[in-house]
Structure 1
């Protein structure tokens, strides 16, 4: 669906649209709903009574107002119980709302800004608009029988214009990241991902540099190149830079895992586990999406983004178990499992970000199944070598409405990664214990700077529809990064 969300200063019944949406909270009509009910001689309350409508979150009922003027219909929309409501309630309501309005066939609607008096006009406006724009996302680029996309305009009555405008920027960036993750791997090769990054930079005035396989090898990124060498599609190292107009308050680096497809290499994944491996570049997608938003929001922080894009395939040139690899940081690595490839590409990318002078680094990757076992499919694991910076990222995620949970970077477990042949092993062998922690510890060996590693293996891709959109790429991480960067640049989110 092609959705446009507009802010309006006027009251709900003053905005001409065929459908007016009012909230039902704790089984009662909202204040705006009560006004509309009075205007139409109790039409809404009669339907609520007849249907015993309580207004569970997302529950709805269409009411004919028997009017020749606008609105002709009202939609009772449930916001759930009074206890426990939050901005996430409003965000999820926005997503469910646009899906229901589209299902009913309306092309235009006006909604009250749910819970604005309780949660704040600016905050509620942002959450509702963002939820609507995320919930209206769809993916069908390669369906030859796909229906023509329907257009929907949603007005938010008595809302904050700047908040709605910012929500549009951030949601568009999330949906951009979703598009990248949803692309099939034969279309989105490492070279194509680099071309997308170059197009993004040209569109929005970002600095960009892309290295081919020759430059990657010359730079000393042996660990990264080893992962890529088994594929007919060569790797690319992507660098994007945003600089503010004035002096930068801070210089932060974003690093995203960019495996556009991962077979596991010679440590081959089972066929069923390969089905979602086009999403193994979701960290890269989040970083590029965040750069898209940053270029438009223009916070006072310098941001440098790095993606080591590659495919992990099998051929006579592919790297093997027991190989010993060099790295940009000078450390040697014994390969214990070729399916622990992401950390090899990220080791060189993190080391490069460190060398280029970043004050702190945030890295996002679909790194371990162990993190999914620990936290499930909706929560990312957060690891850090700097508690203060870790709290900064965690608080940004909380403001953004993305779920992360801190896990320990237990130094004692580093002994599990010691190799008798090289400096480090890329996994700690056959044991599955502490897999997410040892992966994070491995990455932390390649920088002395404050580092936050977000293991997004769970929430980056959903195999079924979720609260804020359809099955497929979720764009997880974009909203957290935007919140972090705006706060770091002194911007008021």
Structure 2
């Protein structure tokens, strides 16, 4: 896991031994307005002469004068100087400081929320996945924030950023090196280190306990599937949140084979499981008083003589049968097993996270996740995402769509063929069928579904604190949701 060393300092930045000091600027009527501590007034006129305007994403380097860091970097804020704007700007600047060992962040801020966002953004931007490069890219390794931030907030940034980095590492790892078994091993290692309990189902255990969805999807691979249950249960916790993550370590489409170009990037089809793992570990590290169980549905979807076929019927955990019409609609099959198992424990809420449908990308693009489910929980998740500036958008789950999942031989079909359908919504309607009831009640457990197919993997250029490849999306939202639920 690659995450920078973070610290705070109340000392003047002029005495810092960092390689670079980071300042900020915003547009003004007479040129850029510099946001910097005393001693850096000389930077403002240089910015104007260099043509800088303080616009968003603008980045300027200037040789320093006198003692302290030898390079001054100035990032533009544009019209956003709120916490979200500071987070994005700091991350965008740090992404461009590859090869810099140490950084001092000296942007004056008015409150602790802004200071935390500034440090978090800088730390999120200090990421590079270089395990497979002959000449590794070295991100900023040490970041010192020259502002007041209490120990609890500093630890929160460390845990959240570490979780995002873990998720990115898992998503970026080539699929040959991240089998379901290996993912499960890494999950148990991370859980053990954080004091989180874990249990792993191998093929024999999956069969014994009736997890035919996960077994069916994994049947075509020589590397067997796994189900991992994680539990963080602090004493005194009054709320139980269940998290379910899709973990298809590589998705070829199975016998419903994807075109070759569409397989590129399918190593990211386990991003939901990675996000669930990292969120639970972070909540445990921060001792948030909320009980969280996590279900990681791990399988590799491959074509072979043993793979499931269209028209095969799988019996999902709990007994519901599903006819497989398209083996490339596999994520919902593994998720169904875990949603049913999570429901057996009657948690207060269930949130699932999955790179589930290409239709999500068509509808919302690569930066906005689709959010579906029960209104009250959807509102809670949306609020949590808004607090950390992760973009989600609520989508409906029309009840009439269930009729499209009719099967001639089973309780449900896993998709609808032969007509244009709202794929993201239809997948959500399918998942809803496997969410169980509250204890001693026929009322369904509150449930929300996050489709992160587009936001989970950045195939374009970097922006803000997000580089290319795995993004770690949903980790920060899930941590914030756990914090909110623990506070009632």
* TM-score for both structures, normalised by structure 2: 0.92
Q: How do 1:181-200 and structure 2 match up within 5 A?
A: 181-200=171-190
Name the structure 1 match of 2:450: 454
How far apart, CA to CA, are the structure 2 residues paired with 1:251 and 1:449?
A: 11
**Residues 12 and 158 in structure 1, CA contact (< 8 A), matched pair in contact too:** no
Query: 2:167 aligned to 171, 177, 193, which one?
Result: 177
User: Over aligned residues, Cα RMSD in angstroms?
Assistant: 2.0
How far apart, CA to CA, are the structure 2 residues paired with 1:183 and 1:257?
A: 16
Corresponding position: 1:345 with 2:343: no
Closer, same or farther in 2 for the Cα pair 1:87/1:206, shift >3 Å? same
- 1:22-72 alpha-carbon deviations (Å, 9 max, x no partner): 221124334535x3245xxxx3233123223211223233334442x2244
Aligned length: 474
Name the structure 2 match of 1:274: 263
Most deviating of 462-471 and 217-226: 462-471
**Residues 241 and 293 in structure 2, CA contact (< 8 A), matched pair in contact too:** yes
**Residues 249 and 488 in structure 1, CA contact (< 8 A), matched pair in contact too:** no
Name the structure 2 match of 1:223: 213
Shift of 1:93: 1.3
- Secondary structure of the residue aligned to 1:186 is helix
Shift of 1:148: 7.4
How far apart, CA to CA, are the structure 1 residues paired with 2:19 and 2:299?
A: 50
**Residues 370 and 434 in structure 1, CA contact (< 8 A), matched pair in contact too:** yes
**Residues 409 and 440 in structure 1, CA contact (< 8 A), matched pair in contact too:** yes
- Secondary structure of the residue aligned to 2:409 is coil
- Secondary structure of the residue aligned to 2:410 is coil
Name the structure 1 match of 2:381: 393
- 1:391-418 alpha-carbon deviations (Å, 9 max, x no partner): 1111011111111100001111111112
- Secondary structure of the residue aligned to 1:48 is helix
**Residues 126 and 141 in structure 2, CA contact (< 8 A), matched pair in contact too:** no
Shift of 1:348: 0.8
Name the structure 2 match of 1:49: 48
Closer, same or farther in 2 for the Cα pair 1:363/1:322, shift >3 Å? same
Name the structure 1 match of 2:358: 369
**Residues 35 and 107 in structure 2, CA contact (< 8 A), matched pair in contact too:** no
Name the structure 1 match of 2:392: 404
Name the structure 2 match of 1:29: 33
Name the structure 2 match of 1:421: 409
Shift of 1:243: 1.0
How far apart, CA to CA, are the structure 1 residues paired with 2:357 and 2:366?
A: 12
- Secondary structure of the residue aligned to 2:36 is helix
Name the structure 2 match of 1:109: 103
Name the structure 1 match of 2:243: 254
Corresponding position: 1:10 with 2:14: no
Name the structure 2 match of 1:123: 113
Shift of 1:262: 1.0
**Residues 208 and 239 in structure 1, CA contact (< 8 A), matched pair in contact too:** yes
Name the structure 2 match of 1:480: 477
Most deviating of 171-180 and 2-11: 2-11
- Secondary structure of the residue aligned to 1:52 is coil
Shift of 1:369: 0.6
- Secondary structure of the residue aligned to 2:482 is helix
How far apart, CA to CA, are the structure 1 residues paired with 2:25 and 2:264?
A: 41
- The unaligned stretches of length 5 or more in structure 2 are 436-443
Name the structure 2 match of 1:62: 61
